[in-house]
Amino acid sequence: MENLKLTIEMLPKGAWNNDFSKTLPKKEWDIVRNACYKKANHRCQICGYKTDDLDAHEVWEFDIKKKTQTLKDIIGICSKCHGVKHIRNSQRLGYGEDSKRHFMSVNNCSDLDYASHLTQAQMDFEERNKIYRWKLVADISKFGLNNATIKERNIPFIKSPYQDVDWNDYNFIKYNKNKIFIIEKNSLYFSEPKVLLITIDNYQGIIEVLCDNINKIEWYLDKQKIKTKYNVVGKFKTSLNVENLNGKELTFTLFGDGGKTFSKTFELLPQEVL
């Protein structure tokens, strides 16, 4: 169905948190959104609903070949239209059916039209998720903000030494733990620190570690300690965000009553190589 008034826009994972509501200083974002509200004149710019409670919605265009996300517009829309734009979040919060009905009402279309558009939006989302880093292209001076600097996020790509490890394969982990970790056991009465799961989010640059039998975890960048987190009791889930880290080699060490466990090296690659 073409020429829809209200469309679904699924931001690819690599574009999450790139929006100006998060990257601009609050004072500058207030200038942008207030200019947007003034232009909307108390009406949703999609469905026409009259309200003093509009949301400022950024409209982006994505070019996979150039790896660019280009700002096309910032519009004032009502909460219902905004819920359709971000349908995945609406579904997560339990408002998926409400958003579906609003989509069909505004576009005067059928269930089949909605399903077809949702499927295409999902396909676009999956295709764009092949890109980890997007180059921002935007002229925000036309939205009332002059001399503003677009903040480019610096998120190195994490190359994990554990990308081929099946953490659900208990026997593999048990019989190969001395190959995938270096373990220094110092007690007959306590188990050495154990890693139960390592996950990598290379869109936002986050390493998450689930471990057991530990008192603390220390992170090292190029052999210099950069972070320590302590555990009180039981299994411990912790994470490290590599955004703005300037270095090449990242490791962690687990400390417990039963000894120490040392990780292999995570490589941090400049985002330009993606």
Task: Please give the pLDDT value at position 272.
Answer: 62
Residues 52 and 126 both lie in one domain: yes
**What CATH number does residue 251 fall under?**
2.60.40
Residues 177 and 264 both lie in one domain: yes
Summarize the confidence of residues 144-159 as an average pLDDT: 84
Task: Specify if 93 maps to a domain.
Answer: yes
Task: Specify if 77 maps to a domain.
Answer: yes
Residues 132 and 211 both lie in one domain: no
pLDDT tens digits, one per residue of 70-117 = 999 999 999 999 999 999 999 999 999 999 999 999 999 999 999 999
Residues 52 and 162 both lie in one domain: no
pLDDT at 136 over 80: yes
Residues 213 and 173 both lie in one domain: yes
Task: Specify if 168 maps to a domain.
Answer: yes
* Banded pLDDT at 274 (limits 50, 70, 90): low
For residue 70, CA distances in Å to 44, 76, 197 come to 23, 18, 37
* Residue entry with tokens 């962690």: 252
pLDDT at 145 over 90: no
* Higher pLDDT among residues 7 and 164, named by residue: 7
Query: Which two three-digit tokens encode residue 86?
Result: 């971000």
Residues 138 and 24 both lie in one domain: yes
Task: Please give the pLDDT value at position 19.
Answer: 87
Residues 24 and 131 both lie in one domain: yes
**Residue finishing a domain among 143, 170, 194:** 143
The count of structural domains within the chain is: 2
Residues 112 and 197 both lie in one domain: no
Residues 64 and 161 both lie in one domain: no
Task: Please give the pLDDT value at position 131.
Answer: 94
Task: Specify if 148 maps to a domain.
Answer: no
**Residue finishing a domain among 110, 143, 176:** 143
Q: Give the range of the structural domain holding residue 244, as residue numbers without chain letter.
A: 157-273
pLDDT tens digits, one per residue of 19-58 = 888 888 889 899 999 999 999 999 999 999 999 999 999 9
Max CA pair span of the chain: 73
Task: Specify if 216 maps to a domain.
Answer: yes
Task: Specify if 5 maps to a domain.
Answer: no
3-state per-residue secondary structure call for the chain: CCCCCCCCCCCCHHHCCCCHHHHCCHHHHHHHHHHHHHHHCCECCCCCCECCCCEEEEEEEEECCCCEEEEEEEEEECHHHHHHHCHHHHHHCCCHHHHHHHHHHHHCCCHHHHHHHHHHHHHHHHHHCCCCCCEEECCHHHHCCCCCCCCCCCCCEEECCCCCCCCCCHHHHHHHHHHHCEEEECCCCCCCCEEEEEEEECCCCEEEEEEECCCEEEEEECCEEEEEEECCCCCEEEEEECCCCCCCEEEEEEEECCEEEECCCEEEECHHHC
For residue 126, CA distances in Å to 58, 123, 206 come to 20, 5, 20
Residues 18 and 138 both lie in one domain: yes
Task: Specify if 221 maps to a domain.
Answer: yes
Distant-in-sequence, close-in-space partners of 94: CB < 8 Å, separation ≥ 6: none
Task: Specify if 244 maps to a domain.
Answer: yes
Query: Which two three-digit tokens encode residue 228?
Result: 């320590």
Bridge partners, 254 (sequence order)? 217, 261
Residues 101 and 35 both lie in one domain: yes
pLDDT at 141 over 90: no
Residues 237 and 135 both lie in one domain: no
Q: Provide the percentage of residues in the chain whose pLDDT is more than 90.
A: 76
**Residue finishing a domain among 86, 114, 143:** 143
